[in-house]
Copies of this chain bind each other. A is one copy, B any other.
Amino acid sequence: MDKGSPEAAWREDCAPRRVLELFATKWTSMVLHTLHARHQGAARTGLLQRSLPGISKKMLTQTLRDMEASGLISRHVDSVVPPAVTYRLTPLGTRCVEPVELLYGWGRANADALDALQPRPSARRR
């Protein structure tokens, strides 16, 4: 592990940085939060989609795929006839939930302050 860079900051491919980039997606953190806070760490695809207003089936699947590849969740195919797929938080993912929940809680705690400041998240001047 070469950490000798004086001022060179963290390399672009270091693990923490890749983690932060993992969450630089629209749905990753919200899927994680929903899975944990609303479904005790396990839920089927349809339920997840219903729990995430606005997400498209494509993005749900894609996000779940990425999270699975990152070891945050695991995929379980229960049945066969009408496919019943359940996603569960892995131990790794469960440990990762804590920071996200803190961020979420921070948002709730400061909702008023945030509402007062931000007129609209997407309303950027043109």
A84 within 8 A of B: no
Q: For this complex, into which size category does the number of interface residues on chain A fall?
A: 35 or more
On whether the beta carbons of A23 and B19 are closer than 8 Å, the reply is no
Residues of B within 8 A of A51 (CB): 7, 9
Minimum CB–CB distance from A107 to chain B (whole Å) comes to 3
On whether the beta carbons of B24 and A26 are closer than 8 Å, the reply is yes
Q: A65 — nearest CB in chain B belongs to which residue?
A: B124
On whether the beta carbons of A117 and B34 are closer than 8 Å, the reply is no
A44 within 8 A of B: no
Minimum CB–CB distance from A55 to chain B (whole Å) comes to 10
With A18-B121, A24-B23, A114-B71 as contacts: A52 and B103 at CB distance below 8 Å? no
